[in-house]
Amino acid sequence: MQYLDNVIFLILLIAGFGLFGKSLLKIYRNIRLGREINRSDRKSERWETMARVAMGQSRMSARPVAGILHLFVYVGFVIINIELIEIIVDGIFGTHRFLATIFGHTFYNFFTATLEVLALLVIVGVVLFFIRRNFYGVKRLTMKELFGWPKNDANWILIIEFALMMAFFTMNSSDFILQQRGVLAAHGSFPISEMTLVPFLEIFSFDNIFLEIVERGAWWFHFIGILFFMNYLYYSKHLHIILAFPSTWYANLDLYGKFNNLESVTKEIKLMMDPNADPYAAPAEGAEEAPSKFGAEDVFDLNQVQLLNAYSCTECGRCTSVCPANVTGKKLSPRAILMKTRDRLEEVGRNIDKNGKFEDDGKKLLNDYISKEELWACTTCNACTQACPILLDPLSIIFEMRRFLVMEQSAAPQELNLMMTNVENNAAPWQYNQADRLNWAKD
C-alpha cells in the first residue's frame, strides 16, 4: 500500500500524456488531409521567424495592453512548467521538492521565489483578461461570431489558469507553514505566499495533519489540473500555445503582395501559346496528372499550412478588427474564415473516425460554412495577415475559394465577369480599344 500514491500518479501521468498524444495525432492526420505544399525552404529564416514571432512575441506589442498581459501569462506559463518536472519526479519517486537537492539551497530559493512572482503575474493577467473580455466590451472580443462555445471556451481557459495558480499558492503556503513548524524539511522561498495566503491560513491555527492534507490536495489538484488542461487543448482555441510554433515556422515568407501562380495553368497557357504544340497529343508517359480541381471548395483542397493555420487560430480577432470589409459592416470576417475552416475540418475528422475513411456527407466548406458573399467582400488588402500575431493567413483561404468559384463554377458576380471578359478581349478591365491606349499622349 505504501506505493499506492506513486502508482496512481504514474497511471494518471501515462493516461494524460497518452490521451494528449492521441489528440495530437488526430490533428496531424486531419492537417494531412490538405494538399501538400513545399514550405521547408529558407530554413534559417524560418527558425529566426519562429523565434522572433512565436517565442519573442514580436507582434503582440502592436496592442500594448493585451500584449503586456499576454506576456505575463506566457512567461509565467513557460517557466512554471519547469515546476512540472519537479512534480513528475516527486510523484513517481515519492520525493518532496526534488529540485532542491539538485539546485542547492540558494538557487532553489531563487527559483521558487521567481515562480511565485510569475504565478502572481499570471493571476493578474487572467483576472484582467477576464474583466476585459466579459465586462469591458472590447469590440473584437464581443462579436457575434464568438457567441456560444468560443466565448465560453475563452472563459474556461482563464478560469482553469486561475484555479491552477491558486492551487500553486495554496500548496506553497501550507508547505511553508509546515516547514516553519519543522514537519517538512525547509526548501525554497515563497515571498508572495508569505505575504498573502500564509497569514490568512495562520489565523485558523490549523493542525499539521490538516495542513498536510491541504498541501497534498493542492499538489494533486495542480497535477491533475495540468493533465486536464493539456487534454482540454484539443477542444479549445487554446491550441495556439503549441501550434503557434509550427504555424510561424511554416509561415509565408514572401511579400504580402505576391500571390502564387498556379503551375497547372502555366502549362496550359504555354501549350496554348506554342504554335508547334499538337493540341490532340496524348500526354507524355509519366507526365503529371492535371490537378483535379482549381482552387478550393472543401478542406481537402486547401493546403496543409492553411489547415494548420485553422487549428492555430486563437480567435483574438485582431484580423477582423482591421478588415476594411468587416469594419464597414460587411459579412466577411477573416477570423470567422479560419474558425469555419477548423469547424469543417473537425467535422471531416469525426466522419473519418466513425467510418474509417471519409464518407461524403453532402457538405462542403464553400456554401455550407463560408458564403460567397463573404468571399467577394475581400479587398485582398492583407490587413488581416499583417495583424495576426502568429502569421496566420486567412486571405490565402479566401483567395483559393475565389479561384474555385471563378475557374470551376464560373460563379463570379456579373460585374466581375464583365471585367474579366474585357481583360481577355480588350486587354483592359474596361471596354476600351487597345489601339486607343496612347490617346492620352495626343490630348
Partner 1 sequence: MDFTIKTMADYAAEGKSPEVLFWVGCAGSFDDRAKKITKAFCKILNKIGVEFAVLGQEESCTGDPAKRAGNEFVFQMMAMTNIEVLNAYEVKKIVTACPHCFNTLKNEYPSLGGNYEVIHHTQFLKELMNEGRLKIEGGSFKGKKITFHDPCYLGRANDEYEAPRMLLEKLDAELVEMKRCKTNGLCCGAGGAQMFKEPEKGKKDINVERTEEALSFEPKIIATGCPFCNTMLTDGVKHFNKNHEVEVKDIVELLAEAEDL
Binding site for partner 1 (CB under 8 A): 254-259, 261-262, 265-266, 268-270, 272-273, 294-295, 322, 324-325, 327-332, 373, 376-383, 386, 399, 402-407, 412-413, 415-416, 418-420, 423-424, 427-430, 432, 434-443
Residue 176's contacts (CB-CB under 8 Å, 6 or more residues apart) are 190, 193, 194, 198
Q: What is the closest distance, in whole angstroms, from the C-beta atom of residue 244 to partner 1 in the complex?
A: 20
Please give the backbone phi and psi of residue 411, each rounded to the nearest 5 degrees, phi first. Answer: -110, 35
- For partner 1, give the closer residue by CB, 82 or 327: 327
Query: DSSP string of 264-332?
Result: HHHHHHHHHH-TT--TTPPPPTTPPPPPS-SS-SSGGGSBHHHHHHHHH-----HHHHH-HHHHTT-S-
In the bound complex, what is the minimum distance in angstroms from residue 255's beta carbon to partner 1? Answer: 6
Residue 177's closest CA among 145, 161, 200? 200
Nearer to partner 1, 121 or 383 (CB): 383
Q: Which is nearer to partner 1, 290 or 427 (CB)?
A: 427
Residue 270 CB, nearest distance to partner 1 (Å)?
Answer: 7
Euclidean distance between CA atoms 129 and 69, whole angstroms: 8
Taking the least distance from each CB to partner 1, the nearer of 12 and 262 is: 262
Q: Measured from the CB of residue 208, what is the shortest distance to partner 1 in angstroms?
A: 59
Rounded CA gap, 112 and 439, in Å?
A: 78
Q: How far is the CB of 271 from partner 1 (least distance, A)?
A: 11
Judged by beta carbon, residue 279 or residue 286, the one nearer partner 1 is: 279
**Is the separation of the CB atoms in 296 and 403 below 8 Å?**
yes
Shortest CB 418 distance to partner 1, Å? 8
Cβ 382 to partner 1, closest distance in Å?
A: 5
CA-to-CA dists, residue 37 to 33, 212, 304, 345, angstroms: 12, 55, 7, 18
- 12 contacts 279 by C-beta, under 8 angstroms: no
d(CA 371, CA 302): 16
Least CB distance from residue 435 to partner 1, whole Å?
Answer: 6
CB nearer partner 1, residue 192 or residue 398: 398
Extended beta strands in 286-397, E state: none
- Closest approach, Cβ 429 to partner 1, in A, equals 5
Instruction: Say if CB 208 and CB 183 are below 8 A apart.
Output: yes
98's CB contacts (< 8 A; 6+ apart) are 86, 89, 90
Name the grid cell of 165: 495558480
Helix (H, G, I), strand (E, B) or coil at 370: strand
d(CA 352, CA 30): 9
CB nearer partner 1, residue 254 or residue 289: 254
Phi, psi of 370 (to 5 degrees): -110, 130
Nearer Cβ to partner 1, position 48 or 268? 268
Judged by beta carbon, residue 106 or residue 434, the one nearer partner 1 is: 434
Of 152 and 431, CB closest to partner 1: 431
CA 164 to CA 341: how far, in whole Å?
32
Helices marked H in 94-148: 98-103, 105-131
CB of 395 to partner 1, least distance (A): 9
What is the length of the chain?
Answer: 443
Calpha distance 345→361 (Å, rounded): 13
